[in-house]
């Protein structure tokens, strides 16, 4: 019997020879980028902000323009002021405080509101000819809105009105002045023409009124009289019937004064006379000067009381005191008028 091949037998009985197992390699990593060269970030920033400046500026302008064009048509809201006009009754006077203007909120496209002029709204007209004392409503429909504008709210929304019976009265004119004439001058007279005017107003106000003042007339530094027109300024609630200005004549003259100078020393004077060889009793007198202020002030420093003697006199006597350096137009009084003069031995 043929023997089975030992090799085959062995192959049948034994597992096949195992091949060499492949080795498992870890997944490969992507290569790390090299570190940025020094100055790369700086060059990038420089390129982002400094290069193509003209193109970048143009882009920014276009973006802003588009933004404004897109937003111009959006509705906006602003507040404006509108004056108020009144229609008043003939036989009554409004004595309550008037509302002179009203705040009005308006809405419209921004392009329209940006160039809006408050005068486009005109005035709010309030008719009080048949109104009675009480509250008067102020409503948005009193405002005339131009095309493209919508009226929102108004403030205030009402006002209180009160009336008094109308009356007239003749009162005096009282010119008002401010400042002072130049030193040495004063106001002598103020003459308004006309001296009285007729005024109109509420019966209670008119009853307590006695005069109407003018605007202030400046007298500062004046040395001569002058005439000027002056506007009348009646109190609130009072109006002048007819012209509201008058003529005012202001007279300005030099100031006259009297100045008393006590204890002024008397001097001895004469040709060839030595004042040291004479005695005077009393040695001082009181002097009063009268004249214009400027002349008197000048005379005070220039005048000298004197008594005149001659070189041949040897005995005591009384002498009259006179004033040397006295200008024309200045009056003088001396007390005492005579003094005793005695020559020294």
pLDDT, residue 89, reads: 92
| Confidence band of 33 (pLDDT split at 50, 70, 90) | low
Question: What span, in angstroms and rounded, lies between the C-alpha atoms of 176 and 192?
Answer: 11
Rounded to an integer, what distance in angstroms lies between the CA atom of residue 220 and that of residue 252?
A: 12
What are the backbone dihedrals phi and psi of residue 224, each rounded to the nearest 5 degrees, phi first? -135, 155
CATH class belonging to 75-161: mainly beta
Kindly state the percentage of the chain with pLDDT values over 70: 82
Task: Return the pLDDT at 115.
Answer: 83
Query: In this predicted structure, what is the pLDDT of residue 260?
Result: 96
Distance (Å, rounded) from C-alpha 251 to C-alpha 309?
Answer: 48
Whose tokens are 């005339």? That residue is 144
**What pLDDT is recorded for position 50?**
62
Of residues 54 and 258, the one with the higher pLDDT is 258
The CATH architecture to which 256-343 belongs is Beta Complex (2.170)
Residues 227-237: tens digit of each pLDDT: 999 999 999 88
Same fold, 165-254 and 256-343: yes
pTM for the model: 0.57
316-344 per-position pLDDT tens digit: 999 999 999 999 999 999 999 999 999 98
The answer, yes or no, to whether residue 207 has pLDDT greater than 80, is yes
pLDDT for 2: 43
Total residues found in the chain within this entry: 345
Model confidence at 314: pLDDT above 70: yes
Q: Which tops the pLDDT comparison, 278 or 13?
A: 278
CA-based radius of gyration for the chain: 55
Query: For 133-145, how does the pLDDT look when each residue is reduced to its tens digit (9 = 90+)?
Result: 999 999 999 998 8
Q: Tell me which DSSP letter residue 122 carries.
A: -
pLDDT at 233: 96
**CATH of region 165-254:** 2.170.120.40
- Mean pLDDT value across the chain: 85
| pLDDT exceeds cutoff 70 at 23 | no
Residue 268's pLDDT band (boundaries 50, 70, 90)?
A: very high
CA atoms of 202 and 237, how far apart (whole Å)? 7
For residue 213, list its beta bridge partners.
Answer: 174, 233
Write out pLDDT tens, residues 211-255: 999 999 999 999 999 999 999 999 988 999 999 999 999 999 999
Query: What's the pLDDT at 62?
Result: 76
Asked whether 271 and 311 are in contact (CB, 8 A), the reply is yes
What are the boundaries of each domain within the chain? Answer: 75-161, 165-254, 256-343
Q: What is each CA distance from 22 to 18, 25, 301, in whole angstroms?
A: 12, 9, 139
Q: Residues 194-209: what's their mean pLDDT?
A: 94
pLDDT of residue 37: 55
211, 228 contact by CB (below 8 A): no
The yes-or-no verdict on residue 269 having pLDDT over 50 is yes
3-state SS, residue 290:
strand
HEC letters along 150-215: EEEEEECCEEEECEEEEEEEEEEEECCEECCCCCCEEEEEEEEECCEEEEEEEHHHHHHCCEEEEC
């Amino acid at each position: 019997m043929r023997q089975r091949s030992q090799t085959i037998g062995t192959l049948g009985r034994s597992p096949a020879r195992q091949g060499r197992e492949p080795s498992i390699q870890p997944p490969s990593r992507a290569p790390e980028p090299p570190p940025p060269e020094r100055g790369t970030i700086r060059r990038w920033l420089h390129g982002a902000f400094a290069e193509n400046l003209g193109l970048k500026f143009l882009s920014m302008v276009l973006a802003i323009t588009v933004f404004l064009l897109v937003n111009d048509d959006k509705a906006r809201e602003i507040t404006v002021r509108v004056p108020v006009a009144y229609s008043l009754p003939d036989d009554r006077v409004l004595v309550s405080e008037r509302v002179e203007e009203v705040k009005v909120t308006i809405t419209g496209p921004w392009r329209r509101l940006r160039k809006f002029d408050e005068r486009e709204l005109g005035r709010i007209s309030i008719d009080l000819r048949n109104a009675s004392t009480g509250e008067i409503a102020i409503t948005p429909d009193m405002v005339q809105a131009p095309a493209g504008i919508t009226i929102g709210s108004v403030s205030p929304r009402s006002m209180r009105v009160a009336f008094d019976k109308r009356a007239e009265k003749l009162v005096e004119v009282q010119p008002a002045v401010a400042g002072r004439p130049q030193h040495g001058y004063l106001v002598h007279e103020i003459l308004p023409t006309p001296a009285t005017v007729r005024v109109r107003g509420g019966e209670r106000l008119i009853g307590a009124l006695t005069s109407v003042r003018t605007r202030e007339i400046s007298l500062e530094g004046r040395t001569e009289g002058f005439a000027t027109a002056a506007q009348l300024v009646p109190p609130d609630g009072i109006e002048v019937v007819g012209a509201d200005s008058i003529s005012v004549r202001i007279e300005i003259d030099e100031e006259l004064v009297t100045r008393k100078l006590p204890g002024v020393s008397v001097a001895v004077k004469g040709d060839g006379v030595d004042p040291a060889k004479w005695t005077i009793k009393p040695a001082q007198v009181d002097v009063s000067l009268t004249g214009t202020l400027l002349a008197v002030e000048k005379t005070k420093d220039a005048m000298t009381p004197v008594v005149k003697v001659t070189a041949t006199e040897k005995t005591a006597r009384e002498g009259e005191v006179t004033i040397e350096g006295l200008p024309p137009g200045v009056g003088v009084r001396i007390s005492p008028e005579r003094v005793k003069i005695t020559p020294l031995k």
